[in-house]
Structure 1
Amino acid sequence: MAEDVLVEIGLEELPARFVDDAEKQLLDNTKNWLDDSRISFSSIISFSTPRRLAVLIKDVAEEQTSLEEEVKGPALKIARDEESNWTKAAIGFTKGQGKTVDDIYTKDVKGTTYIFVKKQIIGKATIDLLPQFKDIITSIQFPKNMRWAEQTLRYARPVRWIVALFGQDVIPFEVAGVKTNNHTYGHRFLGEKVTLSSPADYEQKLENQYVVVNPQKRRQMIVDGMKEAEAEHDFQIPADDELLQEVCNLVEFPAVFTGSFDPSYLTLPPDVLVTSMKEHQRYFPVKSKSGELLPYFVGVRNGDEYALNTVIKGNEKVLRARLSDAQFFFEEDQKQSIDYYLEKLDRIVFQEKLGTIGDKVKRITAITDRLSKWLYLDEEIRSNALRAAEICKFDLPTNMVNEFTKLQGIIGETYALNAGETQAVARAAAEHYLPVQADGKLPESVEGAVVSVADKLDTIVGCISAGLIPSGSQDPYGLRRQAIGVLKILKAQGWNIAVESLLDLAEQQYDKFDLDQSGKEEARTNTEQFFRHRITYLLKEWSIEPDVIQAVLHHQIGVIPYMAAKAEILSDKRNNPAFKPVQEALVRVLNLAAKTDLTDVDQSILNTDSEQKLYETFLTVKDLYQKTNHKQDADNALRTLGKLAQPIHNFFDHNMVMADDEATRHNRLALINQIAALIYDYADLSLIEWKQQF
C-alpha cells in the first residue's frame, strides 16, 4: 500500500534571494534520491516560505523495487577443467552471489565465453531507507552559510524544527541536534503550533495558520492584490518580476496595500524615487496611465488585513524619512562642481596596489584616447568620449551614490547635465557602467562603449596584475562580469581590434603610472587565460560546439566579431556534406604539416604539373585570402581557402610527398607547410570533429 511522505525543514528567516534555489535543490535532490533508491512514487511537490522548505511526495511505495542483476564471472576456460567439471573458481563465484553452479549460463563477450548468473536484489522497506533523507537536507548549498551554538553543520540559517512523515509515522532522524516529529508552526505572529496527522493535511492546515506554503499561490495573491489596487485607484504598477519574486519570498501570508507620499518629492529624479522605494522598502512604484510617476506606492504586508491602515501609516512615515534624506542629499550634491568631486577621487583608494580612483580615471582617459584613434572616430565623438572618460567616476563621492549605490552612473548623468555637460557626454558617463550584469544591457552610444571598455580593461588587467584572480564564487571586483561585458561590446560594436592589442594598451598605462610590475609576464598569461575562459563561455552560450571553439581559439583570441563569425560558419560546415571535399583536403594538409617546419619553396624543382598548379593556386589564394581577411569577411575567407581543395587532392593523387630525392621531399613539405600556415590563420580545422559523413 502506498503512503505519502512529507519533509519540512523549519528555519530562521532565509534571505529572499536564497529561497528559490534552495527549494529547487531540495526538489531535485529528492527526485534523484528516490530514483537512485528505486522507490516509486506518483508525484512530488515542493514548497517554500522564508521560514521553511518542504517536499510532499505522493503515493510512495512501501518498499524498493526488486532488481534482477546479471553478474559476469570468470571465463569459461577457467570455470571448467579438462573433464568439463566446474572448477573452484566457478564454485566460489556462484557461492559469492548466493547461487549454485546449477544457475550458471554462458555468453560470449568480445570473442571470449564467460559464465554468468542472475541474482535478484530484494527491495528493502521504504521506512528503513527514509532516514537517509537527512543527507538531502544537509546537501543543500547556500551562497552564504553560518554555524550556530555548538553545531558543526554550516547552513544559511539555524534549523528550528523538522517534520518528517511517512503516512502517519514519523521518520526518525536528526539534523544539527533537531529531531524529526509531526509538529510544524504557523505564522510567527498570527499562527500557532500545528500537529499533522498525515502529509495530505500539510498545505491546508498551515494556510489556516496564515502560512501559504505554495510560492506560486502566494505570488498570485500578490498579483491579484496589485490588480485590485490598479482598478481601485486608476493607476498602473509597472511590471517588475524580480521585485515581485523577492517580495513573494519575504512573506508567508501576503496582504497588498497602497500608500502615498508628498507630491513635492516628485521634483526628485524618478530614478531616485524608484530606488528609494524598491531597494530600501521593497515597494512597487506607481505610474499614471501615460507613464508618469505618481505620489503613491504599493507594498505587501506579511500578515492579514487587520489594522492595515495603521500599517500603511507606518510605511508612509518610513518612506517619508527616506525621501527626505534623498532630497537633502540631492540638493547638497548640487552645491558642488564636477571638479570638486573629481579632486575627491584622488583621496579614494581603488585598490592598494593600483592607486586611487583618480589614478584609474587617468588610465581610463588614456585608453579611451588611444582606442578612439584606433577606431578612427570623428573628432566630435572622440572629444565626447574623452570628456566622458574624464568625469566618468565623479558621482562616486556624492552623497546620493553613497546612500544609493545602484544609482552610480544614473545620478552621474543627471548631475552632469545639470552642470552643463552635453547630452552625449552625460549619457556616455552613465553608460560606461554597463552592463551591470553578465546578461545586462550594453552601452548604446559609441562614446559609452569606448569608455566602458576602457574602464573594464583597466580593472581586469590591474586586478590580475595585483594577484586578484577570481576563484570559485569569489570575485569581489566582478572581473568575470566585466570581461564578458568587454567581449559583448566588442562583438556588438563590430570593432576590428584584437583582444590581445587591447590588453597591451591597458598594460601600457600601468607602465606609465609606475605601478608594481613584478611578475608582469605571468600576469599577462593569467589575463589572456582569463579572457579565453570567458569567450569560451560566451561561444557555448551562442550554441558553438566545443571542438569548433578549440579550432578558432587555437592560437589567440583575436578580433571578437571576426572570430565569432568564423565559429558560426564552421559550426554549420561541420555538418554540411557539401563541404566534405574541402575539409578533407585542408585537414590532410594540416596533418602532414605537423611533421615539418620547412617553409622555403624552390619553384625550379616543382617537377610535376599538379605540384606546379598547387603552388600557383596557393599564391593566388594567399593574395585573395589576405584581402578578405583584412576585411574580416569570414565567409569569403573560408571560400577562398576552399579554392585550394581540388589542387590539393590532385597533388596528393599524383605525387609522393615523402619522395626519395631529398630536395624534392623538402620542397614539397615546404609547400605543404606554407599552405598549412594560411589555413591555421583561419582556424585549426584538424581539431574539429567533422560530422558530414553522418
Structure 2
Amino acid sequence: MTTGYDLLLEIGCEEIPSRFMSGALQQLAVEAKAMLAENRFEFKKIDTAGTPRRLTLVVRELADRQPDLIETIKGPPVDRAYDAEGSPTRALEGFLKSRNAAAGDIEEEDIKGALYIVLHQKVTGKDTTDVLPELLPRLIQKLNFPRPMYWQSREIRFARPIRWIMALYDGVPVSFSYAGINSANQTFGHRFLAPEAVVINSVEHYYKTLEEKFVIVDPERRLEIIRRQLAEKAAEKGGRPLIDNNLLEEVLYLVEYPVAVDGYYDEAYLDLPPEVLITTMQHHQRYFPLVGEDNGDLLPFFVGISNNRFHKNIRRGYSKVLQARLADARFFFDEDCKQHLENYVEKLNGVVFLEKLGSLEQKRQRLVKLAEELGRELGMPNEKIEKTSRAAHLCKADLVTDMVREFTELQGVMGREYARISGEPEEVAVAIFEHYLPRFGGDRIPKTLQGAIVSLADRIDTLAGCFAVGIQPTGSQDPYALRRQAQGAVTILQRLDLNLPLDKYIKISLDVLATTLEEDLTEQKRVELTADLKDFFAQRIRFAMQEMEITFEVIEAVLGVPVNTVSALFKRAISLTEYLQGPLLDDVITAYNRVANLAPKEAEEKVNVALLQEESEKKLYHAFLKAKLAFDSTEDLARCLEELQHLRKSVDGFFDHVMVMVDDDRIRTNRLNLLFALKELFNQVADFSKLPVSQNES
C-alpha cells in the first residue's frame, strides 16, 4: 500500500484580472484531477486557493508512487499471425519485435467476437518525485484565459507574466522550469507590506506564514473577513451594506489583505436618483453603499475594501474621488433636466444603430410600429396602446443624454427619471425602464404589460434585423448578445403567460423591418429568416427548460410538434414532466407508438365512414371523434391526456383484430387515413415517440 504526502504548487504572477480568477481556480482543480487520474496517482482531496498575485493548488495525501499496471497490447488477428504451416507471419514477427517480446509471451484473446494475439506486459509504477517534474509544467500550460499574455516566447501564454513558481512534495522542493522560471521552495508576501521572499516547508506552514506576511490565500476566508468588516463598518454608521454579489466577487479577487475603509459624501447628493449614487459607488469606485437598517434609504456613507493597512489618507482619498464623481453626475443631471425628454428624440438620428439597419431614429420608428402591432395582437385597449406607443417613442431618448453617455449602466433608469421630470404618465416612465428587463439571466422581468411589450418589440427588432443582415451567433461568438435578447423574450413570454404566437411575433417584426430594408427583404428571404428565427428561439427555449431541470426527452417531445405560444410550450413540458413514468402517460405513449409506426406522413383524404368494415375500426373511429370533440372544447392538458389514454383500448383492439395492409386499395387507404388522423390528434399535445415508457409497462 502506497503512502500519501501533500503536494503544494503556487504560481506567482503579476496581478491577474479579478474576472479571470474564479474560472482559473476551477480549471486548476479540474485539470489537476484529470492529469493525476490519467497517470494513475491516488490522492485524498484537491483544494485550490488564490489571490490576484497567485494561484495555489494543494493535493492532500498524494500517493508516493504509481501502482504497477498490467497493460494489454493488441496484436494482429490470429488468422493473420500464422501461415498455413503454423509458423509466425511477418505481421506477428513485427509485433513481437516492436514489443521486445518472445513467442512464449503472447496469448490469444477474443475481442469483440474475433481472436487476436495479445501481449500482457507489466508496467512498473514510477515514484511520484520522478513524475511530478514532468506533470507540473504540463498542468500550468493547460490553464486557459480569455485574453492571455506572452512575455518570454509566443509559445508560453498566461493571464499575466509568471514571476515565481513554488512546488513542494512532502516538504521537499520539486524542481522544474517553466517560462524561464525555476521552481523553488519560496514564495513572496504582500507586494507592499511584506515583499521579501520566504521559505516554505509544508502546506500548513504556507498558509500560516503568508497570513503573517499579510496575504490571506484562501478565498473563502478572505470573503468571510470582507463580509464581517462590511457589517461592522455599516453598524458603526447605523446602517447595513448594500451588497452586490458581482462586486463582492470582484473585490474578493482584487485584494490579498482586505481592510474595510469607511467614507462619506455630501448629503446634498442624496436628492439625485438613488441608482445614480449606487452606480457611481459600485461600478465606478467599487465601493459598497450603506442604507438605513429599517427603511433601506441611502445614507451618505460607503465602505471600500483596501489592500493595505488602514490609514486616514486612504479614507480621505476614497471620499475625495467619490465626491468628484458625484459632482460630475450632479452636473450631467442638471444639464439633462434643462430639456424635455422629447427633445432628445431628435438627436437619435445622429446615432447609428447598425450600419445596414440605420440610425437609432429608424429603430425608434420601428419600435413604435412594433409596440402598437403587438399591443393590438394581445388585445390591449386603445388607451393602453397609446401609452405603450409613447413609451416606445421615448425609450431610447436617454441614450443621447450626458448622464447616460458618462454612466452607460444607467440607460433606462435615467429615461424613467427624465420622463417623470418631463411630466410623462407614470405608466410611460416605468415602461421606459422596464423595456431593458431582463438584463441578464435571473434578472427581474417587466411588471407592466406596457413595459413587456416594448421589451419584446426591442428584442425582436434587434434579432430580426441582425439575422436579416447576416449577423448571427456562431459557436461562442455573440458580439451583439443575440442569445441574451432571445432568452429575455422567451422569459417574458413564458412568465407573463402572453397569448402571442411565435409565428405572429416573428411575422410582425419582419413586416416592420421591411420599411427599412425594403427590396432587400424578398419573400424568399422572409421565409428563410422566419425558419432561422424559429430555430433560434427553439434553442433558447431548450436552454430555459434545461435550467428548469426538464428532461431532454420531454423537451424534444414538446418541441417536436407545432405549438401556438411559448407559454403553452412550457405549460405542456411541465405537465408532461408531472405525468412522466405514470400509468396514464404510459398508456398514451404505447397507443401513440402503435399508431405512429404505421401511420403515413400525409393523408390522401379524410376518413370515409362508409368504408369502415370491422367492428374494431368503427369503435376506434368513434373513440377518435369523441377525443377530438374534447380537444376542440378545452385547452386543459390533463383532460386531453385522459382522452388520449382512453384511446388505448380502442387502438389495441384495432391492431389485434384489423389488418391494415389489405389488398383492397380503398380499404387500405381509408385505414391509413384513420391512423394519420389519430397521429395528428396525439401531436396536438406532443411527439410521444420521444418519451420513454416506464419499466413497469407490460
TM-score strictly above 0.5: yes
Alignment correspondent of 2:33? 31
Match of 1:393 in 2: 396
Match of 2:273 among 255, 262, 269: 269
Report what 1:319 is aligned to: 322
Summarize the alignment of residues 587-666 of structure 1 with structure 2, pairs less than 5 Å apart.
Answer: 587-594=593-600, 597-628=603-634, 631=635, 633-666=636-669
Q: Which residue of 2 aligns with 1:292?
A: 297
Q: Does 1:177 align with 2:184?
A: no
1:442 equivalent among 431, 440, 445: 445
Shift of 1:564: 1.6
Asked whether the 8 Å contact 2:398–2:404 carries over to 1, the reply is yes
Secondary structure of the 1:313 match is: helix
Give the match for residue 204 of structure 1. 208
Matches within 5 A, 1:663-678: 663-678=666-681
Q: What whole-Å deviation, never above 9, does each CA across 1:496-521 have from its counterpart, x for those lacking one?
A: 22212111111111112345426444
Correspondences of 1:409-424 after superposition (within 5 Å): 409-424=412-427
CA contact (8 A) 1:456 1:486 kept: yes
Change (3 A) 1:569 1:224: closer
> 1:650-689, CA deviations, whole angstroms, 9 ceiling, x for partnerless residues?
1111110001222211111121112222222322212323
The aligned residue for residue 284 of structure 2 is 280
| 1:13 alignment partner in structure 2 | 15
Among candidates 244, 251, 257, match of residue 248 of structure 2: 244
- The answer as to whether partners of 2:584 and 2:642 remain within 8 angstroms in 1 is no
SS at match of 1:353: helix
364-373 or 236-245: which moved more?
Answer: 236-245
Contact 1:599-1:671 within 8 A present in 2 as well: no
Matches within 5 A, 1:438-517: 438-515=441-518, 516-517=520-521
Shifted more, 72-81 versus 495-504: the winner is: 72-81
Q: Distance in 1 between matches of 2:200 and 2:341?
A: 68
More moved, 402-411 vs 36-45: 36-45
Who is 1:541 aligned against? 547
Task: Give SS of 2:613's match.
Answer: coil
Question: Using the alignment, how far apart are the partners of 1:390 and 1:666 within structure 2?
Answer: 58
Q: 1:77 to 1:479 in 2, by over 3 A?
A: closer
Relative to structure 1, is the Cα distance of residues 625 and 692 closer, same or farther in structure 2, using a 3 angstrom cutoff?
A: farther
Q: Supply the distance in 2 between the matched residues of 1:174 and 1:319 (Cα, whole angstroms).
A: 46
Q: Distance in 2 between matches of 1:233 and 1:448?
A: 38
- Letter of the aligned partner of 1:233 in structure 2? K
Give the corresponding residue for 1:59: 61
Separation of aligned partners in 2, 1:580 and 1:267: 63
- Contact between 1:99 and 1:119, CA under 8 Å: does it hold in 2? no
Is contact 2:5–2:170 with CA below 8 Å preserved after alignment?
yes
Asked if structure 1 preserves the Cα contact closer than 8 Å seen for 2:49 and 2:219, the reply is: yes
Aligned-partner Cα distance in 2 for 1:390–1:128 = 71
* C-alpha distance in structure 1 between counterparts of 2:284 and 2:51, whole Å: 21
Contact 2:189 2:198 in 1 (8 A): no
- Aligned position for 2:340: 337
The alignment status of 1:554 with 2:560, answered yes or no, reads yes
* Aligned-pair CA distance for 1:466: 1.4
Amino acid in the other structure paired with 1:38:
R
Paired residues of 1:153 and 1:176 also in contact (CA < 8 A): yes
Aligned partners of 1:273 and 1:323 also within 8 Å:
yes
| Paired AA for residue 158 in structure 1 | P
- The CA deviation string for residues 539-565 of structure 1, in whole angstroms up to 9 with x for no partner, is 212222222222222244641121122
What is the distance in 2 between the residues matched to 1:416 and 1:72?
Answer: 77
2:81 and 2:7 map into 1 onto residues whose CA distance is 48
CA distance in 2, matches of 1:112, 1:345: 74
| Pair 1:226-2:230 in alignment | yes
Q: Deviations over 1:158-184 (max 9, x none)?
A: 222222233454434443333333343
Task: Answer yes or no: is the 8 Å Cα contact 1:598–1:673 preserved in 2.
Answer: no
Which secondary structure does the structure 1 equivalent of 2:197 belong to?
strand
Provide the TM-score with structure 1 as the length reference: 0.92
Amino acid corresponding to residue 45 of structure 1 in structure 2: D
- Quick one: distance in 1 between partners of 2:600 and 2:183? 66
**Residue 312 of structure 2 corresponds to residue 304 of structure 1:** no
CA contact (8 A) 1:372 1:382 kept: yes
Q: Which moved more, 1:174-183 or 1:403-412?
A: 174-183
After superposition, what is the alpha-carbon deviation per residue over 1:306-336, rounded to whole angstroms, capped at 9, x for unaligned?
xx10111111110110010011111111001
Q: Give the superposition deviation at 1:369.
A: 0.9
Unaligned runs of 5+ in 1: none
Give CA deviations for 1:3-36 in whole Å, capped at 9, x if unaligned: 4322222222122111111111112211221122
Q: Contact between 2:243 and 2:288, CA under 8 Å: does it hold in 1?
A: no
Further displaced range: 89-98 or 313-322: 89-98
Task: Return the offset for 1:153.
Answer: 3.2
Q: Secondary structure at the match of 1:458?
A: helix
Check conservation: 2:149, 2:160, Cα contact below 8 A.
yes
CA distance in 1 between partners of 2:531 and 2:668 (Å): 38
1:144 and 1:76 mapped to 2: Cα distance?
53
Comparing 36-45 with 339-348, which one deviates more in the overlay? 36-45
Does the residue aligned with 1:593 lie in a helix, a strand or coil?
Answer: coil
Q: Whole-Å Cα distance in 1 between the matches of residues 555 and 230 of structure 2? A: 48
Over 3 Å counting, the alpha-carbon distance change for 1:511 and 1:79 in structure 2 is: closer
Query: How many residue pairs are counted as aligned between the two chains?
Result: 689
1:536-593 C-alpha deviation (Å, 9 max, x unpaired): 1112122222222222222446411211222223334441234323321122111111
Q: 1:627 to 1:179 in 2, by over 3 A?
A: farther
The 3 A distance-change label for structure 1 pair 510 and 687 is: same
Offset at residue 155 of structure 1 (A): 3.1
Cα distance in 1 for residues equivalent to 2:466 and 2:373: 21
Q: Is the 8 A contact 1:56 1:199 kept in 2?
A: no
Structure 2 residue 574 is the aligned partner of structure 1 residue 568: yes
TM-aligned CA distance change 1:338 to 1:77, over 3 Å: closer
Q: Which moved more, 1:317-326 or 1:645-654?
A: 645-654
Q: What's the secondary structure of 2:362's corresponding residue?
A: helix
Distance in 2, matches of 1:433 and 1:686, equals: 40
Aligned to 1:369: 372
Measure how far apart 1:251 and its partner are.
0.7
> Does 2:260 correspond to 1:260?
no
Deviations 1:169-224 (A, max 9, x none): 44344433333333432222222232424243322222232221111121122122
* 1:391 Cα deviation from its structure 2 partner: 1.1
Shift of 1:102: 6.5
Q: Identify if the C-alpha distance between structure 1 residues 584 and 599 changes in structure 2 by more than 3 Å, giving closer, same or farther.
A: farther
Moved more, 177-186 or 280-289: 177-186
Partners of 2:44 and 2:685 lie apart in 1 by 54
Contact 2:357–2:465 at 8 Å: present in 1 too? yes
Flag structure 2 segments of 5+ consecutive residues without an equivalent: none
Distance 1:351 1:81 in 2: 74
Aligned counterparts of 1:56 and 1:614: Cα–Cα separation in 2: 68
Range with bigger deviation, 648-657 or 195-204: 195-204
Secondary structure of 2:239's counterpart equals coil
| Aligned counterpart in structure 2 of residue 532 of structure 1, from 531, 538, 552 | 538
Counterparts in 2 of 1:150 and 1:133: CA distance versus 1, 3 Å: closer
Distance in 2, matches of 1:35 and 1:214, equals 25
AA aligned to 1:532 is A
